[in-house]
Chains A and B, each alone.
Chain A
Amino acid sequence: MIASAFGVLFDGFAYGMLLFLLSVGLSVTLGMMNFVNLAHCSFAMLGGYVAVTLTNEIGWPFLASLPVAFLAAAVVSVAFERVLYRRLYRATDLDQCLLTIGIVFISVAVAAYVYGTIQQPLNVPAYLRGTVSVMGQSVGVYRLFLIGVALVVTLVLVATLEYTRFGAQVRAAVDNQRMARGLGIDVDRVFAITFALGSGLAGLGGALAIEIVGLDHAFAFTYLVYVLIVVAVGGLGSIAGSFVAATLLGISDMAGKYYFPELGAFLIYFVMVTLLMWRPAGLFGRR
């Protein structure tokens, strides 16, 4: 099957937007606190399961479950931040990696215990299914919806960071945490809020991902690698970097799957290693 270049670009872009939602929170928190949170995708998985439970068990409409997925991931992440993460802000990369990968293990086991190891079905409403024709090309409605959500989120994020007082505090803390503290900014509080927002976005991404990539208990592991690639390639603490890296990764992954299926994921790993060797701090990173 030879897919049209437009189809590949469109699907790749939609996939990239999904990766962007999943990873932008991690990028900002990593840039601010240098905290390597490998459990980021566990919060995404939580959002996914919340959406599945609400729509399938209780019968909520899919759209109404999305904000709840966001909230649930945000609230749970703050609890973790308060109890566990806070103790390790000054610890080494390795300790942070290990703590959070321990949380990933636990979350995967708990998900398998509660929901089993099968793919979770999700009933997407009829108006999000099928395809529409845009400029003579047929595109999936759901992917269009996904791109719309991601673009709105991006606009809101950029506007918040650029034009609000809170955004200025976040940027100051990312640029120079010590200096920001010296200026009287409560970096811990700013960080907790940013962390909650970032995890919430991951939860939203997890809920939106089900229709595209499915959801099972191993989600937290499978997408961890992709999210890390986006963050590392884009550069820490950079929303623009995450956006570009996610788009690049989404399109190259999709193109690789269509045109060189025998290579598998080889292409994206190759792109990542090459990019990192060229620019170790990422495309938009400054450190």
Chain B
Amino acid sequence: MTSSAAAEPQRYLEAQIRWRPLEIVFWLATLLPFVLTPSYLVLASQIAITALFALSLDLILGYAGIVSLGHAAYFGFGSYTAGLIAKWGWGEPLSGLIIAAAAAGLLGYLTSFIIARFRHLALIMITLGLGLLLAEAANSASWLTGGADGLQGVRMWNLLGIFPFDLYGTAAYGYALAMLFLLFLVARRLINSPFGLALRGIRENAVRMPAIGAPSPAHIRKIYTIAAVIAGVAGALLAQTTETVSLETLSFQRSADVLVILILGGAGRLYGGIVGAIIYMVARDQLSDINPQYWYFWIGTLLVAVVIFLPNGILGGLARLMPSGRSRA
């Protein structure tokens, strides 16, 4: 952030909200898989869902500085809600998605009262603990969730009554991409608002913000709930496009993966999660065919390298190569 930003926050925000050509090119390019790689549309839909999940984590981690090791709780909660609604006979995707998002948001709102009270190691451990609690609860309640076998019998109706969710993933990718773009717009607007600036203030100095009159706990509760809603949408998308829900959606592994994805891409940047998701998912798709074990060797090496050499992620490294600081989207 430049010094002029501090002097004129209004103009800084207005400059940030303008669309850059690179951004427009990027979003147009997301349509290319329909034409260029139609056989990879299922993977593309998975990438869009993961990117949405990473965007949700970016809001709390990248902007508000809340480190969470249990963010999969909201992803999985949305996933199970959407799956259960469809299993009980209401297979309409959009309304199911909204209900799942509301359910995840409610869970996020309730837990945000806990989250807003803690920082540092206690916060990391409490998010981890809450995530594990929910995963264990879902595992125990196998009459509801199907336990380790996953939720079976999810049948979705056609999207908008027209497009069926088929094996090619055309509807799945279109649906996931539309949701990603929509929620990206919401996040973009949110971040480039005074509220977004307040969040960055909390990240930089959590003690000073209340001292200048900003209600930090209220801000944290708000952004945490919003992030939970977005994570719930991502989870619901996964449940609806794959027509199954497994315990893996709630697992620590998923929380850790999304953290890795966001860090690789660059936390505190709107495109960080999306870029990270593309690189991570494509690399995993290519490398884990050889052996899933070795995949973790490479991801570990990459993590160590990023922390040591690229402290701001891949996008941060690219931004440093650019002559001006304007690519800080």
Residues of A that sit less than 8 Å from B by CB: 30, 36, 84, 87-88, 91, 93-95, 97-99, 101-110, 112-113, 117, 217, 225, 228-229, 232, 236, 262-266, 269-270, 272-273, 276-277, 280-281
Contacts and interface: CB of A to CB of B under 8 A. Distances in A.
A88 B303 CA distance: 14
A264 to B, nearest CB: 5
A119 B315 CA distance: 41
A231 to B, nearest CB: 8
A99 B303 contact: yes
Contact of B121 (A93, A104, A262): A93
Interface residues of B, number: 41
Interface of B: 61, 67, 114, 117-118, 120-122, 124-126, 128-130, 132-133, 136-137, 139-140, 252, 256, 259-260, 263, 267, 293-297, 299-304, 306-308, 311
B122 A228 contact: no
Contacts of A103: 300, 304
Which of A107, A108, A262, A269 has the largest number of chain B CB atoms within 10 A?
Answer: A269
Nearest to A117: B293
Nearest to B297: A109
Contacts of A112: 293
A269 B293 CA distance: 28
B139 A273 contact: no
24 contacts: A36-B124, A87-B308, A93-B120, A93-B124, A94-B67, A98-B259, A98-B306, A98-B307, A99-B308, A102-B307, A105-B297, A108-B296, A109-B295, A112-B293, A229-B125, A232-B121, A232-B122, A232-B125, A262-B140, A266-B133, A266-B137, A266-B140, A269-B133, A273-B129
A225 B128 contact: yes
Given A93-B120, A266-B137, A269-B136, A99 B296 contact: no
A106 B297 contact: yes
Contacts of B301: 102, 106
A121 to B, nearest CB: 20
Nearest to A261: B140
